[in-house]
């Protein structure tokens, strides 16, 4: 589902991508397999930004994605999210 949400985002189907992200998060919680959740949250932030939502909405998802990656000690993912937040989103203070 993560891959599908990513592909949908790449072709501009942002609302559909958000649906897949939400379902994937629910399934991740249900099966206690949360490793991909930070990337799903990152996808959601991207979709909300591209849909023209206010910064406070997509910022929340970026912060959660960054701190989630840190919680899993996936510092490489955390650094990618932080770097993208600064360059793509204009947010320097995660």
Which residues form the domain of 69?
2-87
> Which pLDDT score is estimated for 11?
97
Give how many domains the chain has, as a whole number. Answer: 1
- Compute the mean pLDDT over every residue in the chain, rounded to the nearest whole number: 96
Q: Does a structural domain hold residue 94? A: no
Q: Does a structural domain hold residue 92? A: no
> Which pLDDT score is estimated for 74?
96
pTM score above 0.75: yes
Q: Does a structural domain hold residue 64? A: yes
Q: Does a structural domain hold residue 26? A: yes
- pLDDT band, residue 94 (cuts 50/70/90): confident
- pLDDT band, residue 34 (cuts 50/70/90): very high
Q: Does a structural domain hold residue 79? A: yes
Contacts for 89 with CB less than 8 Å, ≥ 6 apart: 45, 49, 55, 58, 59, 62
């Amino acid at each position: 589902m993560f891959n599908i949400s990513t592909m949908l985002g790449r072709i501009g189907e942002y609302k559909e991508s958000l649906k897949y992200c939400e379902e994937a998060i629910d399934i991740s919680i249900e099966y206690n397999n949360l490793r991909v959740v930070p990337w799903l949250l990152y996808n959601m932030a991207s979709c909300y930004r591209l849909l023209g939502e206010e910064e406070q909405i997509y910022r929340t998802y970026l912060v959660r994605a960054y701190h989630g990656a840190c919680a899993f000690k996936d510092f490489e993912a955390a650094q990618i999210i932080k770097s993208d937040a600064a360059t793509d989103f204009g947010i320097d203070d995660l």
